[in-house]
C-alpha cells in the first residue's frame, strides 16, 4: 500500500503539536489527508491523459462585453473569490 499521504499527515501533526487531540480525531485527519492525496493524484493523472482538441482556459476566453458581464466578473466567478 502506498500511504505516503498518511505518513506526511502524521509528521505534520507531530510538527504542529497536535498530540493533545484525541486519537480518533487525529486518525480521521490522517485518513482524510490520504484520501485527498489519492484524489489529487488521480485528477492530475487524468488531466495528463486527456486529449482535448483545443487548449483552453478561462483566461483565454475572448469577451465582447455584449451581455454586461466583464472579463473580471467571470474570472472572479471562476476562482470563487465571491465567497470570501
Per the structure, the count of domains in the chain is 1
In what helix (H) or strand (E) does residue 31 lie, and over which residues does it extend? helix 23-49
pLDDT digits (tens, 9 = 90+) for 24-61: 888 898 899 999 999 999 999 998 898 878 777 887 77
pTM of the predicted structure, to 2 decimals: 0.57
SS3 66: coil
Pick the closest to residue 29 from 40, 41, 16, 42 (CA basis). 16
CA distance 52 to 55: 7
What's the domain range around 21?
Answer: 4-83
Percentage of the residues of the chain whose pLDDT score is greater than 70: 96
Residues 6+ apart with CB under 8 A from 13: 19, 21, 26, 29, 30
Amino acid at each position: 500500500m502506498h500511504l505516503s499521504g498518511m505518513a506526511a499527515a502524521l509528521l505534520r501533526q507531530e510538527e504542529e503539536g497536535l498530540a493533545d487531540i484525541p486519537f480518533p480525531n487525529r486518525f480521521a485527519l490522517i485518513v482524510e489527508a490520504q484520501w485527498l492525496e489519492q484524489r489529487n493524484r488521480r485528477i492530475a493523472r487524468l488531466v495528463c491523459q486527456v486529449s482535448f482538441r483545443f487548449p483552453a482556459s478561462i483566461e483565454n476566453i475572448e469577451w465582447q462585453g455584449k451581455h454586461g458581464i466583464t472579463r473580471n466578473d467571470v474570472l472572479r466567478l471562476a476562482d470563487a473569490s465571491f465567497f470570501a
